[in-house]
Structure 1
């Protein structure tokens, strides 16, 4: 068995250790101009990452564009159908039949209120009266 010699260093006295702790407590870090710019840039990038993550998870573009149910309804005109008949059937309560016919004409670029059998036209949705 081999025994070696170990050197044990004495601990510093308690009063010296307290003086070092007090000196450290008085030290104040002051960031340089470059350090402040770096911290500002990191905070900005972190904000961009959080905003991008929120937009990707919330799917905000789809919410702003609206759901598919808010798209105009496309129908095929049958023999004997008129825009006034569609107005009676599909016009929202807040919209008069005359306003509905005008909206359909504008939406489909119709020069007159006449439609022919087989023609496809779009009808406005109830929440789309602002056009």
Structure 2
């Protein structure tokens, strides 16, 4: 019975010159896979496709099972309602509440998400929810 590597029959002598017995030339496995696919025809391609799809499904499944951290705060945020005044901008408000060295653009995105706004534009008289100070 011939040698097999990962279920693929190995043909010919692929031992690298001067190498230990059992080692193979670089790329030998892939060339054997190509020969095996050519010789096994449609059935071999179907088997290979089934194996590849199984590996993909398992990898995706493991990704879905892996717990991930939520991006939300660990405690509820206290908020208040604010009526936008002429000259108010979301960027100016975000800059005033962002800790020193913090990312103002992130605070703007959080305010947009909190208020379900389409953009950072505000209209005088508009009511928005802001974190309580």
State the TM-score, normalized to the length of structure 1: 0.37
Larger radius of gyration: 1
Q: In proportion to residue count, which structure has more helix?
A: 1
Q: In proportion to residue count, which structure has more strand?
A: 2
